[in-house]
Amino acid sequence: MKKKIKSIVTIIAILFLFCPICFASDINFKDQIKQEEGSLFEKIIAECIGGIAQTVLNFTTGEFLNVGFKDYDTLIFNDNNANDSLAPFTKDLWNKTMNWYKIFAVISSSLIWIAVFILSYKIIIAGMNTSKKNEAKESLMRLCFGGVAIALAPIFIRFLLFLNNGLVHLLVTVSHGSLEGLLGNSMLRSIRTGNAITTSIVISMFVYLFVKLNIKFIVRQFTIIIYTIFTPIACGLWIINKNVTAASIWAGQMIMNIFMQFIYCFLFLIYLAFLPSRRWLGCIIDLGNDDFTFIRSFDELFTKFNK
Protein backbone atom coordinates (compact mmCIF):
# COMPACT_ATOMS: atom_id res chain seq x y z
CA MET A 1 0.00 0.00 0.00
CA LYS A 2 2.83 2.38 0.92
CA LYS A 3 4.59 1.63 -2.38
CA LYS A 4 1.43 2.52 -4.30
CA ILE A 5 1.13 5.82 -2.43
CA LYS A 6 4.79 6.62 -3.12
CA SER A 7 4.28 5.83 -6.81
CA ILE A 8 1.23 8.08 -7.00
CA VAL A 9 3.09 10.93 -5.28
CA THR A 10 6.04 10.48 -7.66
CA ILE A 11 3.78 10.57 -10.71
CA ILE A 12 1.99 13.70 -9.45
CA ALA A 13 5.34 15.39 -8.78
CA ILE A 14 6.54 14.57 -12.31
CA LEU A 15 3.30 15.93 -13.76
CA PHE A 16 3.72 19.12 -11.74
CA LEU A 17 7.22 19.56 -13.12
CA PHE A 18 6.20 18.97 -16.73
CA CYS A 19 2.85 20.80 -16.63
CA PRO A 20 4.43 24.20 -17.40
CA ILE A 21 5.18 22.79 -20.85
CA CYS A 22 1.46 22.12 -21.37
CA PHE A 23 0.22 25.53 -20.15
CA ALA A 24 2.07 28.35 -21.79
CA SER A 25 2.73 31.54 -19.83
CA ASP A 26 4.57 34.79 -20.34
CA ILE A 27 6.44 34.20 -17.06
CA ASN A 28 9.25 31.65 -16.98
CA PHE A 29 10.46 31.00 -13.44
CA LYS A 30 12.98 28.40 -14.65
CA ASP A 31 15.03 30.93 -16.64
CA GLN A 32 14.68 33.43 -13.80
CA ILE A 33 16.04 30.93 -11.26
CA LYS A 34 18.93 29.90 -13.56
CA GLN A 35 20.22 33.47 -13.50
CA GLU A 36 20.70 33.27 -9.72
CA GLU A 37 23.85 32.01 -8.00
CA GLY A 38 24.06 28.53 -6.52
CA SER A 39 25.52 25.09 -7.01
CA LEU A 40 24.10 22.58 -9.48
CA PHE A 41 22.31 20.73 -6.69
CA GLU A 42 20.80 23.97 -5.33
CA LYS A 43 19.57 24.97 -8.77
CA ILE A 44 17.96 21.54 -9.31
CA ILE A 45 16.04 21.90 -6.02
CA ALA A 46 15.16 25.52 -6.83
CA GLU A 47 13.88 24.58 -10.30
CA CYS A 48 11.68 21.89 -8.75
CA ILE A 49 10.16 24.43 -6.35
CA GLY A 50 9.84 27.01 -9.12
CA GLY A 51 8.30 24.39 -11.43
CA ILE A 52 5.53 23.70 -8.92
CA ALA A 53 4.91 27.45 -8.52
CA GLN A 54 4.91 27.86 -12.31
CA THR A 55 2.40 25.03 -12.72
CA VAL A 56 0.05 26.43 -10.10
CA LEU A 57 0.22 29.92 -11.64
CA ASN A 58 -0.34 28.65 -15.17
CA PHE A 59 -3.12 26.31 -14.08
CA THR A 60 -5.04 29.07 -12.29
CA THR A 61 -4.54 31.83 -14.87
CA GLY A 62 -4.52 29.87 -18.13
CA GLU A 63 -7.38 30.40 -20.59
CA PHE A 64 -7.45 26.70 -21.54
CA LEU A 65 -8.97 25.47 -18.26
CA ASN A 66 -10.60 28.80 -17.33
CA VAL A 67 -10.37 28.28 -13.56
CA GLY A 68 -11.58 31.83 -13.03
CA PHE A 69 -8.77 33.30 -10.96
CA LYS A 70 -8.43 37.08 -11.35
CA ASP A 71 -5.55 39.51 -11.05
CA TYR A 72 -5.31 41.69 -7.96
CA ASP A 73 -6.74 44.85 -9.50
CA THR A 74 -9.85 43.01 -10.69
CA LEU A 75 -10.19 40.88 -7.55
CA ILE A 76 -9.78 43.55 -4.87
CA PHE A 77 -10.20 46.87 -6.71
CA ASN A 78 -12.84 45.81 -9.29
CA ASP A 79 -10.39 47.16 -11.89
CA ASN A 80 -11.59 50.60 -10.70
CA ASN A 81 -14.80 50.14 -12.69
CA ALA A 82 -17.51 52.54 -11.48
CA ASN A 83 -20.26 50.71 -13.39
CA ASP A 84 -19.62 47.31 -11.78
CA SER A 85 -22.25 47.76 -9.06
CA LEU A 86 -23.25 44.05 -8.95
CA ALA A 87 -19.78 42.57 -8.42
CA PRO A 88 -19.04 39.75 -7.65
CA PHE A 89 -22.26 38.95 -9.52
CA THR A 90 -22.76 39.16 -13.25
CA LYS A 91 -26.23 39.79 -14.65
CA ASP A 92 -26.62 36.12 -15.64
CA LEU A 93 -25.44 34.91 -12.22
CA TRP A 94 -27.77 37.33 -10.44
CA ASN A 95 -30.72 36.14 -12.56
CA LYS A 96 -29.91 32.49 -11.73
CA THR A 97 -29.71 33.38 -8.04
CA MET A 98 -33.09 35.10 -8.22
CA ASN A 99 -34.62 32.03 -9.88
CA TRP A 100 -33.44 29.92 -6.94
CA TYR A 101 -34.63 32.65 -4.58
CA LYS A 102 -38.16 32.30 -5.99
CA ILE A 103 -38.06 28.53 -5.45
CA PHE A 104 -37.07 28.95 -1.81
CA ALA A 105 -39.67 31.69 -1.38
CA VAL A 106 -42.31 29.16 -2.43
CA ILE A 107 -40.85 26.62 0.01
CA SER A 108 -40.88 29.19 2.82
CA SER A 109 -44.60 29.73 2.26
CA SER A 110 -45.17 26.48 4.17
CA LEU A 111 -43.41 28.05 7.17
CA ILE A 112 -45.55 31.15 6.81
CA TRP A 113 -48.72 29.02 6.81
CA ILE A 114 -47.50 27.37 10.01
CA ALA A 115 -46.97 30.85 11.49
CA VAL A 116 -50.51 31.84 10.44
CA PHE A 117 -52.01 28.81 12.19
CA ILE A 118 -49.94 29.51 15.33
CA LEU A 119 -51.04 33.15 15.25
CA SER A 120 -54.69 32.15 14.88
CA TYR A 121 -54.39 29.83 17.86
CA LYS A 122 -52.75 32.57 19.96
CA ILE A 123 -55.55 35.02 19.10
CA ILE A 124 -58.24 32.45 19.99
CA ILE A 125 -56.77 31.59 23.40
CA ALA A 126 -55.72 35.15 24.23
CA GLY A 127 -59.12 36.20 25.56
CA MET A 128 -58.65 38.86 28.23
CA ASN A 129 -55.07 37.83 29.03
CA THR A 130 -52.88 40.90 28.39
CA SER A 131 -49.61 39.03 28.08
CA LYS A 132 -51.03 36.59 25.52
CA LYS A 133 -52.55 39.48 23.58
CA ASN A 134 -49.16 41.19 23.43
CA GLU A 135 -47.57 37.93 22.29
CA ALA A 136 -50.19 37.61 19.55
CA LYS A 137 -49.50 41.20 18.44
CA GLU A 138 -45.78 40.49 18.27
CA SER A 139 -46.45 37.39 16.16
CA LEU A 140 -48.67 39.45 13.85
CA MET A 141 -45.97 42.12 13.47
CA ARG A 142 -43.33 39.46 12.71
CA LEU A 143 -45.65 37.95 10.10
CA CYS A 144 -46.07 41.33 8.39
CA PHE A 145 -42.42 42.34 8.59
CA GLY A 146 -41.27 38.85 7.54
CA GLY A 147 -43.41 38.98 4.39
CA VAL A 148 -42.07 42.43 3.55
CA ALA A 149 -38.49 41.23 4.21
CA ILE A 150 -38.87 38.30 1.79
CA ALA A 151 -40.14 40.68 -0.89
CA LEU A 152 -37.52 43.41 -0.36
CA ALA A 153 -34.44 41.30 0.55
CA PRO A 154 -33.08 41.17 -3.05
CA ILE A 155 -33.25 44.98 -3.23
CA PHE A 156 -31.47 45.26 0.13
CA ILE A 157 -28.73 42.84 -0.98
CA ARG A 158 -28.23 44.77 -4.23
CA PHE A 159 -27.96 47.97 -2.20
CA LEU A 160 -25.24 46.41 0.00
CA LEU A 161 -23.34 45.27 -3.11
CA PHE A 162 -23.68 48.75 -4.63
CA LEU A 163 -22.47 50.33 -1.38
CA ASN A 164 -19.45 48.00 -1.14
CA ASN A 165 -18.42 48.53 -4.76
CA GLY A 166 -18.98 52.28 -4.46
CA LEU A 167 -16.72 52.47 -1.40
CA VAL A 168 -14.03 50.40 -3.15
CA HIS A 169 -14.19 52.66 -6.22
CA LEU A 170 -13.99 55.77 -4.02
CA LEU A 171 -10.92 54.51 -2.14
CA VAL A 172 -9.11 53.47 -5.31
CA THR A 173 -9.95 56.72 -7.09
CA VAL A 174 -8.75 58.89 -4.20
CA SER A 175 -5.54 56.91 -3.59
CA HIS A 176 -4.83 56.03 -7.25
CA GLY A 177 -4.01 52.53 -5.96
CA SER A 178 -2.96 49.59 -8.09
CA LEU A 179 -1.71 46.19 -6.98
CA GLU A 180 -0.90 44.61 -10.32
CA GLY A 181 2.34 46.56 -10.73
CA LEU A 182 3.39 45.76 -7.14
CA LEU A 183 2.21 42.15 -6.78
CA GLY A 184 1.47 41.11 -10.37
CA ASN A 185 3.48 39.54 -13.17
CA SER A 186 5.96 42.40 -13.46
CA MET A 187 6.86 42.01 -9.78
CA LEU A 188 7.28 38.24 -10.13
CA ARG A 189 9.69 38.76 -13.02
CA SER A 190 11.77 41.21 -10.99
CA ILE A 191 12.39 38.97 -7.95
CA ARG A 192 16.15 38.62 -7.38
CA THR A 193 17.68 37.43 -4.11
CA GLY A 194 21.14 36.27 -5.19
CA ASN A 195 20.38 32.64 -4.32
CA ALA A 196 18.45 30.18 -6.48
CA ILE A 197 16.61 28.39 -3.66
CA THR A 198 15.68 31.65 -1.90
CA THR A 199 14.34 33.11 -5.15
CA SER A 200 12.20 30.05 -5.81
CA ILE A 201 10.81 30.15 -2.24
CA VAL A 202 9.94 33.86 -2.50
CA ILE A 203 8.23 33.28 -5.86
CA SER A 204 6.27 30.38 -4.36
CA MET A 205 5.15 32.58 -1.45
CA PHE A 206 3.71 35.19 -3.81
CA VAL A 207 2.00 32.53 -5.91
CA TYR A 208 0.56 31.12 -2.68
CA LEU A 209 -0.78 34.59 -1.76
CA PHE A 210 -2.36 34.93 -5.21
CA VAL A 211 -4.07 31.53 -4.97
CA LYS A 212 -5.16 32.04 -1.36
CA LEU A 213 -6.82 35.40 -2.02
CA ASN A 214 -8.62 34.09 -5.11
CA ILE A 215 -9.93 31.07 -3.20
CA LYS A 216 -11.15 33.36 -0.39
CA PHE A 217 -13.04 35.54 -2.86
CA ILE A 218 -14.54 32.50 -4.61
CA VAL A 219 -15.76 31.25 -1.21
CA ARG A 220 -17.09 34.76 -0.54
CA GLN A 221 -19.08 34.73 -3.78
CA PHE A 222 -20.65 31.33 -3.09
CA THR A 223 -21.41 32.33 0.52
CA ILE A 224 -23.29 35.41 -0.68
CA ILE A 225 -25.21 33.29 -3.20
CA ILE A 226 -26.14 30.65 -0.61
CA TYR A 227 -27.26 33.16 2.02
CA THR A 228 -29.22 35.11 -0.59
CA ILE A 229 -31.09 31.97 -1.60
CA PHE A 230 -31.56 31.03 2.08
CA THR A 231 -33.18 34.40 2.90
CA PRO A 232 -36.85 33.28 2.65
CA ILE A 233 -36.18 30.30 4.95
CA ALA A 234 -34.46 32.55 7.52
CA CYS A 235 -37.41 34.95 7.42
CA GLY A 236 -39.88 32.08 7.78
CA LEU A 237 -38.07 30.71 10.83
CA TRP A 238 -37.95 34.20 12.38
CA ILE A 239 -41.70 34.63 11.81
CA ILE A 240 -42.42 31.38 13.69
CA ASN A 241 -40.00 32.04 16.55
CA LYS A 242 -38.49 35.44 17.35
CA ASN A 243 -35.70 33.81 19.39
CA VAL A 244 -34.32 31.81 16.45
CA THR A 245 -30.75 32.81 15.51
CA ALA A 246 -31.23 32.35 11.74
CA ALA A 247 -31.97 36.04 11.15
CA SER A 248 -28.95 37.36 13.08
CA ILE A 249 -26.64 34.78 11.49
CA TRP A 250 -27.98 35.69 8.04
CA ALA A 251 -27.46 39.43 8.59
CA GLY A 252 -23.98 38.98 10.07
CA GLN A 253 -22.77 36.67 7.29
CA MET A 254 -24.20 38.80 4.49
CA ILE A 255 -22.68 42.04 5.77
CA MET A 256 -19.35 40.37 6.62
CA ASN A 257 -18.94 38.72 3.21
CA ILE A 258 -20.22 41.60 1.08
CA PHE A 259 -17.95 44.17 2.75
CA MET A 260 -14.96 41.79 2.87
CA GLN A 261 -13.75 43.29 -0.42
CA PHE A 262 -13.90 46.82 0.97
CA ILE A 263 -11.92 45.72 4.06
CA TYR A 264 -9.26 44.04 1.87
CA CYS A 265 -9.08 47.13 -0.33
CA PHE A 266 -8.68 49.39 2.71
CA LEU A 267 -6.01 47.15 4.32
CA PHE A 268 -3.96 46.81 1.13
CA LEU A 269 -4.04 50.55 0.46
CA ILE A 270 -3.00 51.31 4.06
CA TYR A 271 -0.15 48.76 3.88
CA LEU A 272 1.10 50.16 0.59
CA ALA A 273 0.77 53.80 1.66
CA PHE A 274 2.36 53.74 5.13
CA LEU A 275 4.94 50.94 5.11
CA PRO A 276 8.36 51.30 3.50
CA SER A 277 8.72 49.59 0.13
CA ARG A 278 10.83 46.74 1.53
CA ARG A 279 8.73 46.05 4.61
CA TRP A 280 5.25 45.75 3.11
CA LEU A 281 6.24 42.65 1.13
CA GLY A 282 6.45 40.49 4.25
CA CYS A 283 3.42 42.17 5.82
CA ILE A 284 1.25 41.46 2.78
CA ILE A 285 2.38 37.83 2.75
CA ASP A 286 1.16 37.60 6.36
CA LEU A 287 -1.96 39.65 5.67
CA GLY A 288 -4.06 36.59 4.88
CA ASN A 289 -3.38 35.04 8.30
CA ASP A 290 -4.99 37.76 10.43
CA ASP A 291 -7.11 39.76 7.98
CA PHE A 292 -10.33 38.32 9.34
CA THR A 293 -9.70 39.55 12.92
CA PHE A 294 -11.63 42.75 12.31
CA ILE A 295 -14.31 40.95 10.30
CA ARG A 296 -14.86 38.28 12.95
CA SER A 297 -15.06 40.94 15.67
CA PHE A 298 -17.60 42.88 13.64
CA ASP A 299 -19.65 39.73 13.03
CA GLU A 300 -19.64 38.80 16.74
CA LEU A 301 -20.67 42.35 17.71
CA PHE A 302 -23.49 42.35 15.16
CA THR A 303 -24.73 38.93 16.33
CA LYS A 304 -24.74 40.00 19.99
CA PHE A 305 -26.57 43.21 19.07
CA ASN A 306 -29.36 41.23 17.39
CA LYS A 307 -29.86 38.80 20.30
| pLDDT at residue number 160 | 92
Q: Give dist(CA 260, CA 237) in Å, integer.
A: 27
Residue type, 136: A
CB of 247 closer than 8 Å to CB of 234: yes
| pLDDT at residue number 298 | 47
| pLDDT at residue number 169 | 84
| pLDDT at residue number 70 | 78
pLDDT tens by residue, the chain, 307 residues: 555 555 554 544 444 444 443 444 556 777 777 777 777 787 788 888 888 888 877 777 766 666 667 777 777 877 756 566 788 888 899 999 999 999 999 998 888 888 888 878 777 777 677 777 777 788 788 888 888 889 999 999 999 999 998 888 888 888 765 565 555 556 666 677 777 888 888 888 888 888 888 888 889 999 999 999 989 988 888 888 877 677 778 888 888 999 998 988 888 787 777 765 545 455 555 555 545 444 555 455 444 444 5
Q: Give dist(CA 205, CA 290) in Å, integer.
A: 16
CB of 35 closer than 8 Å to CB of 177: no
Contacts of 306 (CB under 8 A, 6+ apart): 247, 248, 251, 252
Q: How many CA atoms lie within 13 A of 133 on its CB side?
A: 4
Supply φ then ψ for residue 27, to 5 degrees.
-110, 130
Helix 260-274 vs helix 293-306: crossing angle, to nearest 10: 140
| pLDDT at residue number 237 | 84
Contacts of 294 (CB under 8 A, 6+ apart): 263
Alpha-carbon distances of 185 from 88, 215, 274, rounded to whole Å: 23, 19, 23
pTM score, whole prediction: 0.74
Q: What is the DSSP string of 28-63?
A: -HHHHHHTS---HHHHHHHHHHHHHHHHHHHHHH-T
